[in-house]
A and B are shown apart, each in its own frame.
Chain A
C-alpha cells in the first residue's frame, strides 16, 4: 500500500516535472537565441583547418572539452582494469570453435577496419571522426574476442596502458608543440592545422578503440583463483 503510494507520488512528480519542462522549452522556443553561434562558426571555419564544422568545434574551438572527454574515457577504462585481478582480461570460456563465428570474424574484421579507416579519414570533411571510428574498431575487437583469436595485448600490463594513454598523450604533446610554435596551447600553427588534427584523430581512434574494448572485456567476472584480499 505504502509502496504504491510512493510510486504514485514519484510518478506525479515526474509528470509535473515533464510538464514544467515542456512549458519552459515552449517558452524558450518562442524567441530566437540571442546570439547566433553557427554564423560565427561558419565565419571561422576556414581558419579551423577542417571542413566539417562539428569536427572544427570538437578539435579546434572547443578542443579543451575534447581533451577532458578523452580523460574521462581513460579514467573509466583505468578504473575498470583496476577491478580485474587476472593476468589477462580475456575470457577463454567465451572462445569458441564455432565455425560460423570464425568465418564471420575472418570476413568482418578486415571490413570493419576499413570502415574505421574511412570514418577517420572522412571525419575532417564529412560526417565521421575519431569516436565513431574508434567505436567500430572496438566492435571489431569484440568480434575477435568472441572468436578464437587470442588478444595478448589486453593483458593489463604496460602494453595495454600504453595503448590507453597513447591518444591522450599525443593530444597533449600536440598542445605543447603548438604552444611552442604559436600563441597559445592548442592553438595550431597556420598550415599545420589539418595535419595535426588528422594526426590527433588517428591516434585517438586507436586509443578510443582500445579503451572501449578494455571496458568491454574488463568485466571482473573472469577471475580464476583470485587471492583472498588481505586487508
Chain B
C-alpha cells in the first residue's frame, strides 16, 4: 500500500511540476520548474526499475537541458541582440 502511495505521489508531483512549467508566467521560473520536473522524472525511472535511464535523465534530461535552457533564458534577459536592424539579413541567394 505504501508503495502505491509512493507511486501515486510521484506521478502526481510529476504532473504538477509539468503543468506548472507550462503555465508559469515567468520564463526563468518555468525553466527551474522544468529542471525539477526532470529530477522527478529521474525518481520515476528508479521506481520503474530503470536506473540507467534515471542516471541519464538526471544528467542529461534535467542537468544538461536545464543548464542549456537557463543559459538561453539569461541571454534573453540580458537582451543581447545585434544592434543593426534584422531586415538587412534578408538576402537573395545570388552569388552564394
Contact = CB atoms under 8 A, between A and B. Distances in A.
Interface residues of A, number: 23
Contacts of B59: 131-132, 135-136, 139
Contact of B56 (A132, A142, A219): A132
B11 interface: no
A215 B64 CA distance: 10
B91 interface: yes
B60 interface: yes
A231 B91 contact: yes
Contacts of A212: 60, 64
Interface stretch (B1-9, B29-37, B66-74): B66-74
Interface in A35-91: 52, 54-55
Interface string B50-85: 011011100110011001100110010000101000
A57 B10 CA distance: 28
Nearest to B81: A221
Contact of B92 (A55, A226, A231): A231
A228 B91 CA distance: 12
Contact of B68 (A54, A129, A216, A226): A216
B23 interface: no
Nearest to B95: A231
Given A54-B52, A219-B75, A135 B96 contact: no
The range of chain B's interface size is 20 to 34
User: Could you tell me the dominant secondary structure of chain B's interface residues?
Assistant: helix
B56 A131 contact: yes
Contacts of A228: 88
B60 A131 contact: yes
Contact of A221 (B56, B60, B67, B80): B80
Contact of A216 (B56, B64, B80, B82): B64
A127 B55 contact: yes
A189 interface: no
Contacts of B92: 231
Contacts of B72: 219
B52 A127 contact: yes
A52 B56 CA distance: 15
B52 A128 contact: yes
Contacts of A216: 64, 67-68, 71
Nearest to A131: B56
Given A212-B64, A216-B67, A221-B75, A231 B56 contact: no
Given A129-B56, A219-B75, 17 more contacts: A52-B52, A119-B55, A127-B51, A128-B52, A128-B55, A129-B52, A132-B56, A135-B64, A136-B59, A138-B64, A139-B64, A139-B67, A216-B67, A216-B68, A216-B71, A231-B91, A231-B96
Interface of A: 52, 54-55, 119, 127-129, 131-132, 135-136, 138-139, 142, 212, 215-216, 219, 221, 226, 228-229, 231
